[in-house]
Structure 1
Amino acid sequence: MGEWNGLIERASGSSKVVPWSSGSTLTNAHMARIDGKWFVAQFDRSSGDLVTAFVPNNGQVGAMLRLLGK
């Protein structure tokens, strides 16, 4: 769990933030490139609570980068 928390902390400090959702919960997805792989931590837009964290698939990465204008 310590490593997972470290990944979440690193992602939460990223400047790459896009509006996203998890189910019906609107979130801000923080993207970080860690050890050559993308990692995303999503936080509820209203409360700021962590909703989920994951390694995104290529489609998700592409969509998020497009939202960032990349």
Structure 2
Amino acid sequence: FGPRRPAAGFSGYRTPVPGLFLTGSGTHPIAGINGLPGKNAADTMIKYFRKEDREGKATHALAESRSQEASET
């Protein structure tokens, strides 16, 4: 429980899948604190995508996902 939620390997909101993050009532810190898991996950995502953008990877991944969304509509 606590910082190991939902599993020990996923306690930092990141997953082994690049660009996929976990958040919600099952993530750290606890379900009783409204919005805090989402804020923490968002902070983690911002750091991740800024780092990836500096490396030139995130811009390409974001553009690719947007083009896929556009083609699906």
TM-score (norm 1): 0.27
The structure that is helix-richer by fraction is 2
Larger RCO of the pair (alpha carbons < 8 Å, separation 6+): 1
TM-score (norm 2): 0.26
